[in-house]
Copies of this chain bind each other. A is one copy, B any other.
Amino acid sequence: MPMKRPLLKSKFSLRHYSLSSENVLKTGGILKQTRTFLDFDIAEYSKLTHDSNPLHSDLKCAKQAGFTEIPLSPEMLVASLFPRIIACHFPWAVYVKQELNFRSPVFIGDKVVGEVEAKNIRQIKEFCLVKFVTTCFKDGEIVVIGSEAMAMLPTLSIKKT
């Protein structure tokens, strides 16, 4: 069944998907959030970054480039889920590194699940250097971004949001 075209303008659909029941981040701890990127978000991203890649806005262009008839969400906008998830649970987090492998396209209207999993935690003076496995999925198990990140956290206590 063809995907229903999303409305031209819509509000954020960001919401918490699931959170660890623990109050302190441990190795293996996972934090998740979902988001659906719609036309309005892509237009705002383009205004903010001045990135006007026609694949993100032009139906014909996306189709001619071999994608579906629905334009793609900008890759870096989808990837912004990762620092958002980290910062809302660990305010004051300082990003050190982010690797991003864009494996599958995210189309406007796709429901994306962003997931960060603590892979390694090191105490360095008063900070914690945490390596995260950062992954975005769509339609259940399709990996759209597979990657890793590293951030300095002032504390491992998870802020409830």
Which residues of A are in contact with B by a Cβ distance under 8 Å?
12, 14, 41, 44-45, 47-55, 61, 65, 74-77, 79-81, 83-84, 87-88, 91-102, 154
- Tell me if A53 and B101 are in contact (CB < 8 A): no
- Tell me if A97 and B102 are in contact (CB < 8 A): yes
The residue from B65, B81, B101, B154 contacting A97, defined by CB atoms under 8 A apart? B101
- Tell me if B14 and A91 are in contact (CB < 8 A): no
The residue from B55, B87, B97 contacting A100, defined by CB atoms under 8 A apart? B97
A52 CB contacts on chain B under 8 angstroms: 87-88
A81 CB contacts on chain B under 8 angstroms: 49
- Tell me if B65 and A76 are in contact (CB < 8 A): no
Query: Given A97-B101, A97-B102, does the pair A44, B48 have CB atoms closer than 8 Å?
Result: yes
A50 CB contacts on chain B under 8 angstroms: 12, 14, 84, 88
Query: Given A84-B49, A84-B50, does the pair A61, B92 have CB atoms closer than 8 Å?
Result: yes
